[in-house]
Amino acid sequence: MVRVIVTVLAVLIIIAYGALFLSWNQQSVAVTGFSWAGQGWVQDLPLGAVILGAVLVGAIVMAAFAFAAWQAQYSRSQAAQAKVALAKKKLDELVAKVKQQREKIAQLEQELSARPTPAETEEAPSCAGSGEDEEDI
């Protein structure tokens, strides 16, 4: 709210100064608007109006150039944000893939730890599966 009040006051001060400037510079000058083959359109205008008109035209031109520069910067910013969003999406996909791989590794390690190791399964050598009795040996 304070910003709006300050902006309105600044605009009022500028308008008041412009009005006073016009009242201080009332002498007339001949302004040629169009001239062709010796014929021309000439108008007598107050000097203050000519100066304020030139300032107004200059401000409009500067605003157009400033807007063009801002628009170019804004479009580059949007492109960079799109790249960042794409990179974040790819990163999230890779993080999900790594998480799946880690879960798979944990599951395989759990299965591996549940299996008996060869040292645990080795017992004394026997001929249990050969079909021979110990007496025949």
pLDDT at 95: 97
User: Is 127 inside a domain boundary?
Assistant: no
Domain-located, residue 78: yes
Residue 123: inside a domain:
no
Is 76 among the domain residues? yes
pTM greater than 0.85 (yes/no): no
Share of the chain above pLDDT 90, in %: 45
Q: Is residue 2 part of a domain?
A: no
| Assigned domain for 98 exists | yes
Res 23: pLDDT:
82
Q: Is residue 75 part of a domain?
A: yes
- Tell me the residue range of the domain where 98 lies: 11-33+40-114
What is the count of structural domains for the chain? 1
Please write down the HEC assignment for all residues of the chain: CHHHHHHHHHHHHHHHHHHHHHHHCCCEEEEEEEEECCEEEEEEEEHHHHHHHHHHHHHHHHHHHHHHHHHHHHHHHHHHHHHHHHHHHHHHHHHHHHHHHHHHHHHHHHHHHHCCCHHHHCCCCCCCCCCCCHHHC
Within a domain: residue 126? no
Q: How sure is the predictor about 89, in pLDDT bands with cuts at 50, 70 and 90?
A: very high
